[in-house]
Amino acid sequence: MSNAADPDAVGETPLVELAVDVDPTVYGKAEWFNQPTLPHGGGSIKTRIAKAMVDAARASPEPLDGRTLVEASSGNTGAAVARFGRRYGLDVEIVLPDDAGAGKIAAIEDAGAETTFVDDERGYDAYVERCRETVRSDPDRYRYLDQYENPANPGVHAGTTGVEIWRQTDGAVTHFVAGAGTGGTLVGVSRALADRGVDVYGFEPATDEHDIAGLKHMHSQGHYVPGTFEPRAVETVSFVSTDTAYRYVRRLYRAHEDRRLRIVDPGQWDRSFVRDHLRVDGDFLVGPSSGACLAKVDRLAELGVLGADDVVVVPLPDRGDRYSERDLRGSGATDDA
């Protein structure tokens, strides 16, 4: 039964089979089906953690009445926090880089949140510090949700995302591959599936200066490593460049120009609704972090880690219309970063 009329519908997102030229079977979990009827491309994988963090804050002994929720985000978490904050009558301030996607900024501002921009060259550490400074300036007014340290982040992926993947693949999944931003997705899914024999592989952007929104380059000296990231939860963490991520976005787009995507499991939606919301103006466009996932899968296949009998699941964190100013179809070049 479709929940298309329910703007709060989160979780139980569709699983689709991706047409990619690698030996293993590769499924993508279309995470914009978290609140898919909302504008600017629906929701994202960050909708799960935003709802979990806001719900946890509302359930805490410390009252939220009169408080302003503060969060650092490259856009997707901010949009989701803004939407749930408004739903519960709370003020929200989102600190984000000044090069955030136009669709993400619009979603945040349409939800009624205040936006504070930080020079993107200063990196995620600067956004986090700005939030902490804001709370220190008036601790009675502000509440920092802090997706980088909040246990609700990996907790919701352990309790929902990982469980859904196991059920939707009938336990056939052998590998899960995702990027590290806070590390919440990797850690949460690992908690749910590692004991069932599923290997979890992570990656992060190759450098500080990258355009794979939502991910964080953290493995360099002096960088802040989020408390939500647990190295033992993943087999390895490697690196993917911006250029490579966009190349695989275009590869996925071209592979599905004239080919329908097979819906393995529609989640909580009916199949016709899923087909109506899978594409952007007829094109299968996903964000750069999705492309980076496919690049990592391809590399693992090249190394012999993945074989023809394996079943790999990757998150498709958001839909391409969040990046209207980016070249996702391949009509121009991107810089390698």
Residues 241 and 275 in one domain: yes
246-295 tens-digit pLDDT = 999 999 999 999 889 999 999 999 999 999 999 999 999 999 999 999 99
Residues 138 and 203 in one domain: no
Q: What's the pLDDT at 42? A: 94
Confidence of residue 219 (pLDDT cuts 50, 70, 90): confident
> Is residue 333, in this structure, part of any structural domain at all?
no
> Is residue 334, in this structure, part of any structural domain at all?
no
Residues 163 and 93 in one domain: no
Residues 172 and 23 in one domain: yes
Contact 10, 43 (CB under 8 A): yes
Quick one: how far is CA 196 from the chain centroid?
Answer: 24
> Is residue 262, in this structure, part of any structural domain at all?
yes
CA distance 109 to 306: 42
Residues 84 and 186 in one domain: no
Q: What's the pLDDT at 331? A: 66
* CATH number of the domain residue 101 falls in: 3.40.50.1100
Phi and psi at 286, nearest 5°, equal -125, 165
For the residues 141-145, what does the mean pLDDT come to? 97
Whole domain around residue 216: which residue ranges?
A: 15-39+156-323
> Is residue 8, in this structure, part of any structural domain at all?
no
> Is residue 29, in this structure, part of any structural domain at all?
yes
Q: What's the pLDDT at 337? A: 32
CA distance 81 to 71: 8
Confidence of residue 320 (pLDDT cuts 50, 70, 90): very high
156-165, 184-193, 215-224, 252-261, range with the lowest pLDDT: 215-224
Give yes or no for residue 104 having a pLDDT over 70. Answer: yes
Residues 175 and 280 in one domain: yes
Residues 174 and 68 in one domain: no
Phi and psi at 244, nearest 5°, equal -65, -40
Residues 33 and 52 in one domain: no
Final residue before a domain boundary, out of 122, 144, 166: 144
Residues 292 and 191 in one domain: yes
Q: What's the pLDDT at 7? A: 60
> Is residue 150, in this structure, part of any structural domain at all?
no
For the residues 146-155, what does the mean pLDDT come to? 97
Residues 30 and 62 in one domain: no
Which 3 state secondary structure label does DSSP give 311? strand
7-45 tens-digit pLDDT = 678 999 999 999 989 999 999 999 999 999 999 899 999
191-212 tens-digit pLDDT = 999 999 999 999 999 998 899 9
Question: Which pTM was predicted?
Answer: 0.95
Q: What's the pLDDT at 221? A: 65
Handedness of CA 67, 73, 77, 83 (dihedral sign): positive
- Mean pLDDT computed over every residue of the chain: 93
> Is residue 228, in this structure, part of any structural domain at all?
yes
Q: What's the pLDDT at 222? A: 74
